[in-house]
Chain A
Amino acid sequence: MGRERVFNAAMLLALLAVPLFAWGLDEPFIITLATKVAILALAGVGLNIALGLGGLVSLGHAAFFGIGGYAMGILASHAQNYEPLFSWPFLFEGSNQMPLIWLVAVLASAAAALVIGALSLRTSGVYFIMITLAFGQMLYYFAISWSAYGGEDGLSIWVRNEMPGLNTLDPIQFFAVTFVILCLTLWFAARLAQSAFGLALSAARQSQERVETVGLTPFKLRLMAFVISGAITGLAGALFADLNRFVSPTMLSWHTSGEIMIFVILGGVGRLYGPLVGAAVYILLEHLLGGISEYWQIFLGLLLLGMVLFARGGLIGALLGREVAHD
């Protein structure tokens, strides 16, 4: 336990130190890269609750990432056009306030996860992968054809949304926002994994029969996990859209689902900081190798292949060995 804790703290410190140095050296691009890592890691932490803890291989998490993104895009575009979203049964205006946007993103993606989960969790294994993929693609094509919000071209937001007391246009301040959210979510995910719910969910992944025999319902446990997981990934989506000041159907496509899953697998499935390690390595590779060749993903593919073949616990597993049963 000790070693993994030290490693986790070091990872978090590195994520904090890099943009701080970049800030000192006046390199805003590096701060943006670190912000991207924090946001994508957040999306991965969300998926990891379903995938790592619950054993639910969802290939549809782009749906929640995209819903979060569109929650931001729609609210902000109405705010910049001064048009209310709707005026009946009550007046609902757009907003450029981050806390409100986050709340809407979390609620909308949680609601979507509830519906998608309730239907998908009746299946398991390959069928579950396929049905979550199908739901994700449904939303993707819906977004493409939804011309009111940009359709295929997506939605651009001119100015980054506001956070009370901060200047979010300053890269280091926006980074701080995402970093704090990532830390809070990691803390929450750690508590969840140790909780009674986490124990029961993890048991359901290992033996469905066992959980039923002690009188707990695996379906309910998994649905709860799926909703929490989707809500966190949705929050990440809202932040990601805010980082780019742009949201498009790409956020909903299955490539995005695959990428989020790659973060988790690369870092280590079920490891609390796995998504952070995975997202950091992914962004680093993209940045370093992407400059050399546009086919940089070949190297990513090789790395992933190596991970899956030789280090089932991902990078953290390869570095620190098997997880100790926590007590």
Chain B
Amino acid sequence: MTDPVLQVHNLCKSFGALKASNDVSLDLRPGEIHALIGPNGAGKSTLIKQISGGLTPDAGRIEVLGRDVTALDTVARARMGLGRTFQISSLAMEFSVLQNAVLGALGARRARGGRLGLFRNVMKDTALLDTAHESLARVGLETAAQARTADLSHGQRRQLEVAVALTLKPRLFLMDEPMAGLGASGSKELTGFLDDLRREAPILLVEHDMDAVFALADRISVLVYGTVIATGTADEIRTNPEVRRAYLGEEELT
């Protein structure tokens, strides 16, 4: 199957006179990492919110796995297999790291039609715990499983965001700046991890870390003032004169 997993058609969203999304179209194909870059205020977050279901577009259509999801809410899209990580962590801060991961596993169970129990101790549910521990181990957080989420560093919170998304076993990932706050080595580790992850499910990646973007992305879309000015491979984007003029400016891409 090579049909795109995610298709965004002619999406428009305005806030007053500001066109945050101006006729945006893009797609995400199986097995790829599609990076979305653009200067601050280009409308990346607005676009991500519309794809995840937090914002309703003024016009346009969003398809996930061939199904029109424009009218569905965040919950329904998550259950269809859309795994999202946030730019500003939205984890349950009072919980332990493990509890956050178990919450994700619980969501996955519910999406498969399972019920939430009212009596059984959820932290003794081995099926959920296995999924949670496995996901934490994959992002390298297993040693911090019992730590309070509020005590984590910013970088660890990003890792936990990814771990929770993993517990959902999503069909596609929507990652909003997963590298932010990670040190050089953490960033390198996560880059390696995402490199493998794309074989499991494709990733739409919003990222400011250009090294990571150019190392990872199969395709890159450049968003400026709500418009996609170019989509192409890393090389195409590097050499695209319009991109250089509009976005890169003085910055040199290597």
Contact = CB atoms under 8 A, between A and B. Distances in A.
**Real binding pair:** yes
Given A214-B103, A214-B107, A325-B99, A197 B123 contact: no
A123 interface: no
B14 interface: no
Given A214-B106, A215-B107, A327-B98, A199 B122 contact: yes
A326 B119 CA distance: 15
B187 interface: no
B104 interface: yes
B49 to A, nearest CB: 10
A153 interface: no
A323 B64 CA distance: 42
A271 to B, nearest CB: 13
A192 interface: yes
Nearest to A217: B75
A25 interface: no
Contacts of B98: 327
A196 B107 CA distance: 10
B90 A213 contact: yes
A73 B61 CA distance: 58
Given A198-B122, A213-B52, A206 B95 contact: yes
A33 interface: no
B115 to A, nearest CB: 8
Given A191-B118, A195-B122, A198-B122, A214 B104 contact: yes
B146 A327 contact: yes
A209 B92 contact: no
A325 B145 CA distance: 12
B42 interface: no
A200 B118 contact: no
Contact of A214 (B73, B78, B119, B123): B78
A199 B103 contact: yes
A266 B115 CA distance: 35
B122 A194 contact: yes
A255 interface: no
Main secondary structure of the interface of A (DSSP, over half): helix
Contacts of A289: none
A268 B213 CA distance: 48
Contact of B116 (A196, A206, A212): A196
B141 to A, nearest CB: 15
B47 interface: no
Q: Which of A196, A207, A209, A211 has the most CB of B within 10 A?
A: A196
Interface string B107-128: 1101100001111111101001
B99 A196 contact: no
Given A206-B92, A207-B91, A327-B98, A191 B107 contact: no
Given A195-B120, A327-B123, A214 B90 contact: no
Contacts of B84: 213
Interface of A: 191-192, 194-200, 202-203, 206-207, 209-217, 325-327
Given A203-B100, A209-B90, 13 more contacts: A191-B121, A196-B116, A196-B118, A199-B103, A207-B91, A210-B91, A210-B100, A212-B73, A213-B90, A214-B103, A214-B164, A325-B95, A325-B99
